[in-house]
Structures are given as C-alpha cells and as structure tokens.
C-alpha cells in the first residue's frame, strides 16, 4: 500500500480552488521591479544563478513547489505517491495544463525535461542533481537509450525511481522547471545555450515571456491560461543595473520594488510612499580555513580566530542590525540549525589564552610557534560590499590577539582559481597548504542541507568536489551520508543538527553572520512579499493601484 500524501493533496486542492478565482486588489496594470544583475541564461537547465531563476520562475512552472518551511506543495502535479520501498515517486499532473503556446503539458514533457539533464550531450551543469535516478548514469555514458528510472505511465502520470531511497528527492523534483518538448526538443541539446529559446523562453508559468532588452530589462505578460488563474498584473518588468542606480530609480518612483543596499535603508524608510521590507534569507557568511597547513590545522588557532573576531560588531555596524550572528554552518532559520549549539563569544582575552596554551607565543606583535609565524592571508572576493568591509575588521581584531592577517581582494573568478587550483597543464589538482589560508565566502541553502555534502566529505576535496577547506571528519561524513537516505523528517533533522554541532566544535568554517535582505516597495504595488524562497514567491497575486 503506497503512502499517500492525501492530507497535503487535499489541503493544496482546497487552496487552489480558493486561488483559482484569485483575490486581486485590482486586475491589470504594469509593475516594474529590479535586480542587481542581468540574467545569463533563461533556459532553466543551463547553469542557473539566482538572477536567472528570478526570471525563469515567472515563465516556467514545476511539478511541486516549496512552501515557506521548505516542505512541498503541488504545483502542476495535483498529487504524488511514494512506493513502499521509498524508491519510486509517482506524480499525477492536473488536467488541462497548457504551455503559453496552447500546447498541452503532458507527462512526456516532464520526462523530456528530466531525461535531457542526463543526455550525453547535455552540459548545463545539472546532471549531478538527478544522477541518483536509476539508469541516469548509464544513459549519460551512452550505454542506454533512456533513463530507466523515468517512466511515463500515461498522459498525466509519471514516475521517478532512484537507485536507493533518497531523502532530498522532492527538493530535486521541486527545483526543475518543465520545458515544452515540442520546442526545446527541436534543438540539439549541445546548442541549447546558443539557441533563441535561451533568451526567449516559453513555459507554463504565470507569465508569458514578452521581451528581453540586453542591459535594460525583461518584460513578461499575464498568462490567461495559467492553471491557478491569471496573475493580477497585466505586465511585469524586471530591470537590472547598479545597486545605487536602482535605488535612485526606486526613490524617484520609476521602479515599484527593488532590493536596497544597507546604506540605502534609511532613505527608503524615510520616503513617504515607500515601504522598507526586511526579509529573512538562508544565506550566511563565513571564514573558510585551509586545514592542510601546520597553522590552521591547529584547532586552537581556529578557535582563537572565532573568539577573536567581533561578529556582533559586524552585525551592529556593517549590517546596521539587519542580520544576526550564527554559531554553525546552517542558517539559524533553517530546520537543520541546532538551537542548542554552543555560542561563539567575542572574547579576545580568552582567544589570547587559547593561543598561549597551545604554545603560540608573542614575539613582538605576532605569535610564533616552532619557528612558524602566525601570519595568514585572507582572500576576499569582491561583489558583496558588506562582506568586503568585514575584512579590515577581521584584520584589526586578529592583530589584537597576535595574528597577522594580510588581506588580498580579488574577483570571484580569481578566488575560484585558488580554491579549485589547476596544474601547469591546466588540469585540476588537489589543494595544497600553500594555495590559500583564509577566505571569505557566503553559503546558502536553496532547498535542502544535502547541498553541503560536496563541501564536507573527504572524497570531494578538489579536484573532485567543493571540499576546498579539506574537511576530513569521519563522524560528519557518516552523518551527511545518513542524511541522504533517512526518510523520517525528525530523524533527519537530528542528523543535520548533529552535523551542525560537530562543525561548531571543529570550526573548519568559522561562521560570521546571516544578513537579512532589504527591499523597498512602493505604495502602488500590493502583495509584494519575498521570503526565504526568493523575491517572486507570490508574484501572481501582486497588483498595482
């Protein structure tokens, strides 16, 4: 007997009835919002970044979609079932779904989308997400004609089978927008990026793609045939540009909603017709430590850094209070965060004592142990102004406890060449102790804590994965692997919380702060309400006066 998500389906069904006659304040009109960078690819299967997804989610729809607590509700699928062995998920599509060109959305389109991700010619970077599907690797390697684990049962029913029970499989399904096979299937997969569909997308989401003017904006228009009822707005424009430029445009009434840099918060707050919205995110900033060298492999040094850096001052000063410190590698508002985790106090005296006891003795201004100076390079990627400004604070804080920090600022692409180094022939090679000492970077959970796996397991140290830091911690690795196959949510939660406690103890990532996102919204725009899922979560319900 399959476990039926009857309750969830019923609940969602009743919700969807209520919203089919969407309660719009007004219907019609154009709203203009903004983002800080131009999208790169509008085909959702090509290396999506947040700036891409923000546009894609207007045009495309998926089988299921996340709720604010990151559980999932039906989207184009009206219900789903899980097999007894927990390896097969079967989704049933709603009736009468159509793409923007009027063609029906069928199980074949769903199968096409997921199968494309495993196509031998596909190189949009998302194969790994679905490599857990039975037969995906064989198809990818050219040893099979299709993915055995993707099965179309009828027009409206499709099943996915994984090689083993895979706990975060719903997040995987919920992260894939469905492409119309009759359009995207006409283009050779290895030419997808160059093809016009990558700039003029067509899906089954709430808005129909209208126009993309490079360097200026993307415009979309209401889809009358959207399954949830047409959006309240007739047209939505997403402009892109520099933070301060867009802030000025917002203040001048040329834009209805835009992200606001922290320095602009008060000007938005003081503005008569603008409202400042403070939004929680699942992204935090940390100091990465290269665990391979003699200095940073010493836990005492990492502890001293953690206690020697005044993180609260960053939150109070640089973030102007729009954020919080955090004590482990999971965002504080995510279910994986262990609320009972030991805090990290700012205590330079204790930090100095830790170093004294570990044998790091002051020699002038800088500590020395066995002839090794406690001098570290801090690599700082540009692109996040607040983060850049934390670097001199860290430097000054650590100087006080006898650690010499040299700041090296570089763009992100350059930082990557240190974290994922190459040899003289250009081949990826393992990281060495000399490649880097400390770096600043952000990390965010998009849908599931399994996303940390490649950052925390030994076999995924570069060149094989993203464990730049060199975490080699058996209990952490065991737990991370257990988290993938544990289906009971409570058990799973406890597993990740334990990872959080262990990572707090090892301080391989020294967590700094979790910033809130700020948005300025004009009085004219109703319903704008970003949350952890992103800026457009309820876009179909936005309306303008």
Residue closer to another protein, measured from CB, 241 or 500: 241
The answer to whether residue 387 forms part of the interface with another protein (CB under 8 A) is no
Q: How far is CA 31 from CA 221, 467, 535, in A?
A: 11, 42, 14
443: closest CA among 375, 503, 395, 494? 503
Candidates 183, 237, 314, 344: give the one binding another protein (CB under 8 A).
237
The CA-CA-CA angle for residues 90, 91, 93, to 5°, reads 155
Q: How many whole angstroms separate alpha carbon 545 and alpha carbon 409?
A: 46
Q: Which stretch binds another protein (CB under 8 A): 27-35, 279-287, 350-358, 363-371?
A: 27-35
The answer to whether residue 248 forms part of the interface with another protein (CB under 8 A) is yes
Q: How many whole angstroms separate alpha carbon 446 and alpha carbon 169?
A: 14
Judged by DSSP in three states, 62 sits in: strand
The answer to whether residue 27 forms part of the interface with another protein (CB under 8 A) is no
Residue closer to another protein, measured from CB, 104 or 442: 442
The answer to whether residue 272 forms part of the interface with another protein (CB under 8 A) is no
296: closest CA among 375, 359, 356, 367? 375
CB 52 within 8 A of CB 45: no
Residue closer to another protein, measured from CB, 199 or 399: 199
Give min distance, CB of 90 to another protein, in A.
Answer: 24
Q: How far is CA 432 from CA 290, 412, 437, in A?
A: 9, 20, 10
Residue closer to another protein, measured from CB, 18 or 272: 272
Q: Which stretch binds another protein (CB under 8 A): 387-395, 429-437, 459-467, 527-535?
A: 459-467
The answer to whether residue 424 forms part of the interface with another protein (CB under 8 A) is no
Give min distance, CB of 263 to another protein, in A.
Answer: 13
Candidates 28, 40, 321, 434: give the one binding another protein (CB under 8 A).
40
Give min distance, CB of 403 to another protein, in A.
Answer: 27
- What tokens does 447 get? 């849908």
CB under 8 Å to 108, separation ≥6 — which residues?
A: 152, 155, 181
Candidates 244, 266, 432, 538: give the one binding another protein (CB under 8 A).
244
Rg (CA), the chain: 25
Residue closer to another protein, measured from CB, 12 or 521: 521
The answer to whether residue 214 forms part of the interface with another protein (CB under 8 A) is yes
Give min distance, CB of 536 to another protein, in A.
Answer: 17
Stretch 169-198: interaction string toward another protein, x if CB under 8 A? ------x--------------x-xxxx--x
Query: How many residues belong to the site for another protein (CB under 8 A)?
Result: 66
Give min distance, CB of 278 to another protein, in A.
Answer: 23
Pairing of strands 30-35, 235-240: parallel
Beta strands in 101-185 (DSSP E): 150-154, 157-161
Would you give the DSSP letter of residue 162?
B
CB 471 within 8 A of CB 458: yes
- How many other β-carbons are positioned within 10 Å of the β-carbon of residue 261? 15
Instruction: List the beta bridge partners of residue 208.
Output: 221
Candidates 87, 100, 126, 484: give the one binding another protein (CB under 8 A).
126
Q: Which stretch binds another protein (CB under 8 A): 82-90, 123-131, 302-310, 350-358?
A: 123-131
Beta strands in 392-490 (DSSP E): 404-410, 438-444
Residues that bind another protein (CB under 8 A): 30-32, 38, 40-41, 46-47, 49, 123-129, 131, 175, 190, 192-195, 198-199, 213-217, 219, 235, 237, 239-242, 244-246, 248-249, 251-252, 254, 410-414, 416-417, 420, 426, 428, 446, 451-455, 462-466
């Amino acid at each position: 007997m399959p476990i039926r998500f009857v309750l969830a389906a019923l609940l969602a069904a009743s919700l969807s009835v209520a919203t089919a006659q969407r309660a719009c304040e007004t219907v019609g009109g154009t709203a203009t919002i903004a983002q800080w960078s131009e999208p790169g690819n509008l085909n959702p299967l090509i290396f999506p970044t947040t700036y891409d997804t923000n546009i894609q989610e207007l045009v495309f729809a998926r089988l299921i979609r996340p709720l604010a607590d990151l559980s999932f509700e039906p989207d184009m699928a009206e219900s789903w079932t899980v097999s007894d062995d927990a390896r097969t998920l079967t989704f049933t599509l709603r009736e009468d779904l159509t793409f923007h060109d009027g063609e029906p959305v069928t199980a074949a389109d769903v199968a096409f989308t997921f199968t494309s991700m495993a196509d031998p010619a596909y190189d949009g970077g998302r194969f790994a997400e679905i490599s857990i599907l039975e037969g995906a690797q064989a198809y990818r390697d050219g040893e099979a004609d299709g993915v055995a684990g993707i099965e179309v049962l009828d027009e409206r029913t499709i099943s996915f089978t994984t090689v083993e029970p895979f706990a975060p499989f719903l997040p995987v399904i919920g992260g894939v927008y469905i492409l119309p096979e009759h359009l995207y299937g006409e283009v050779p997969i290895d030419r997808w990026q160059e093809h016009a569909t990558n700039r003029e997308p067509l899906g089954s989401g709430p808005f129909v793609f209208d126009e993309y003017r490079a360097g200026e904006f993307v415009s979309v228009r209401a889809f009358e045939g959207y399954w949830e009822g047409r959006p309240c707005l007739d047209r939505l424009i997403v402009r892109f540009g520099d933070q301060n430029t867009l802030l000025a445009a917002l203040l001048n009434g040329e834009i209805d909603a835009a992200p606001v840099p922290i320095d602009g918060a008060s000007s938005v707050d003081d503005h008569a017709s603008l409202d400042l919205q403070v939004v929680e995110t699942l992204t935090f900033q940390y100091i990465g430590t290269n665990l391979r060298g003699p200095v940073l492999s010493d836990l005492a040094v990492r502890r001293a850094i953690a206690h020697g850096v005044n993180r609260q001052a960053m939150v109070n000063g640089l973030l102007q209070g729009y954020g919080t410190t955090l004590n482990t590698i999971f965002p504080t508002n995510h279910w994986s965060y262990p609320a009972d985790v030991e805090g990290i106090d700012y205590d330079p005296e204790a930090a100095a004592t830790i170093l004294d006891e570990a044998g790091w003795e002051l020699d002038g201004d800088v500590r020395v142990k066995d002839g090794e100076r406690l001098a570290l390079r801090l690599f700082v990627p540009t692109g996040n102004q607040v983060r850049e400004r934390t670097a001199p604070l860290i430097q000054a804080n650590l100087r006080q406890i006898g650690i010499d920090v040299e700041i090296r600022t570089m763009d992100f692409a350059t930082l990557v060449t240190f974290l994922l180094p190459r040899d003289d022939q250009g081949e990826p090679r393992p990281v060495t102790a000399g490649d880097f000492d400390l770096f600043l970077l952000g990390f965010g959970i998009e849908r599931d804590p399994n996303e940390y796996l490649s950052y925390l397991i030994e076999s995924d140290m570069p060149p094989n994965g993203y464990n730049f830091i060199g975490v080699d911690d058996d209990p952490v690795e065991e737990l991370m692997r257990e988290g993938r196959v544990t289906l009971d949510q409570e058990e799973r939660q406890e597993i990740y919380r334990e990872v959080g406690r262990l990572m707090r103890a090892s301080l391989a990532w020294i967590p700094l702060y979790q910033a809130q996102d700020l948005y300025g919204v004009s009085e004219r725009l109703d319903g704008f309400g970003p949350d952890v899922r992103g800026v457009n979560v309820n876009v179909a319900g936005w309306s303008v006066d």
